A = this chain, B = another copy of it.
């Protein structure tokens, strides 16, 4: 039996898991517990796409060439600089008889594990992609392991919309769990649980705001970098307050959050894909509070040393992209909360 976590697909270095590997074996033949997907679209991680776009000065052809080269060289789409990948949608081509994923040939699915550990081959040279957007139409195949996760795409939603939501579904699920705990443990007579979401108008940010409110947050603030996002988030009605602040400015961020909430945040969720937001998030959070870092641009050392240097008694979570039920919760928020759906549809229309 082939390894449930894909160890048999690791080419180099030996002994590591597929995500840590430099190169994977992406051959199309599957083991009895694997699944092969006919890929139709990749959704590149925002931090990865931004790095590639900036490196090539917005030259789409150069971005496309580098993505092709990464996939051909590594057998997976993992940006060597950011370390991040993204996800994909496609159709089940073949499911091994011992695969525990419950997928059938012909089903249209989105993978909920990162492209950084998914064996991938592109066969059309990305001819239909202009290199200017995170959404990459393509042909090729990908392999799922026994312990991978994939969601069958719902029929009532546009597949691109589903993909955009599923790409970040770990964030609202973990936010919901953390906020619910603060709500349950808040002594009677104390103020409402206050939540700040940095990058509140983005994909993971808007879902996290909706999840915080659903979990019982009594007061929420969305932090955005520019006036256009402020207007969009105010119109979406997902937060009690919306403020414009530079998340890389620790003092500016903490003053903005604390002023908007009236108190420091019990839970601060960082959803912006730029480096240098760790200190501001810590400063904006109350003693006994929690910071959840979802940005792949987060520096472990900056967070750890920053909190220590500020003598801040805050719990800091590495945003795990997997929480049981995460896909269902995110799709539910998309369906139930018009403000979330509006932001996602506007974003897709702009792409």
Interface residues of A in 145-184 (CB under 8 A from B): 147-149, 170
Provide the residues of chain B in CB contact with A302, threshold 8 Å.
19-20, 83
CB distance from A321 to the nearest CB of B (A): 3
A316 at the interface (CB under 8 A from B): yes
- Chain A, residues 292-333, CB within 8 Å of chain B (1/0): the string is 010010111111111111111111111111111000000000
Does A308 lie within 8 Å of B147, measured CB to CB?
Answer: no
Does A293 lie within 8 Å of B306, measured CB to CB?
Answer: no
Does B323 lie within 8 Å of A313, measured CB to CB?
Answer: yes
Interface centre among A5, A17, A249, A296 (most CB of B within 10 A): A17
> When A20-B302, A293-B300 are in contact, do A308 and B279 touch as well, CB less than 8 Å?
no
Provide the residues of chain B in CB contact with A306, threshold 8 Å.
17, 19-20
> When A17-B250, A309-B19 are in contact, do A321 and B304 touch as well, CB less than 8 Å?
yes
Interface residues of A (CB under 8 A from B): 5, 7, 15-20, 82-85, 112-114, 116-117, 147-149, 170, 248-252, 276, 279, 283, 293, 296, 298-324
CB distance from A351 to the nearest CB of B (A): 24
Give the docked Cα–Cα distance between A300 and B291 (Å).
Answer: 14
Besides A20-B279, A310-B322, A315-B317, 14 more A-B contacts (Cβ < 8 Å) are: A7-B251, A15-B250, A15-B251, A17-B250, A17-B309, A84-B301, A112-B308, A149-B311, A296-B304, A300-B303, A313-B320, A313-B322, A316-B318, A316-B320
3 closest residue pairs by CB, A with B: A308-B321, A316-B318, A83-B301
CB distance from A181 to the nearest CB of B (A): 11
Does A305 lie within 8 Å of B149, measured CB to CB?
Answer: no
Across the two chains, which residue of chain B brings its CB closest to A3?
B251
Provide the residues of chain B in CB contact with A300, threshold 8 Å.
293, 296, 298-300, 303, 318
Give the docked Cα–Cα distance between A308 and B315 (Å).
Answer: 20
Provide the residues of chain B in CB contact with A19, threshold 8 Å.
279, 302, 305-306, 309
Does A305 lie within 8 Å of B250, measured CB to CB?
Answer: no
> When A149-B311, A305-B83 are in contact, do A317 and B317 touch as well, CB less than 8 Å?
yes
> When A249-B15, A315-B317 are in contact, do A147 and B276 touch as well, CB less than 8 Å?
no
Provide the residues of chain B in CB contact with A308, threshold 8 Å.
112-114, 170, 320-322
- Chosen A-B contacts, 27 in total, with CB atoms closer than 8 Å, are A5-B309, A15-B252, A16-B248, A16-B250, A16-B279, A18-B309, A19-B305, A19-B306, A20-B279, A82-B301, A83-B299, A83-B301, A83-B305, A84-B301, A85-B305, A116-B309, A147-B310, A170-B308, A293-B318, A298-B300, A303-B318, A304-B318, A304-B320, A308-B320, A308-B322, A311-B322, A316-B320
Give the docked Cα–Cα distance between A15 and B279 (Å).
Answer: 11
Interface centre among A116, A148, A318 (most CB of B within 10 A): A318
Which residue from B117, B298, B309 sits with its C-beta under 8 Å from A113? B309
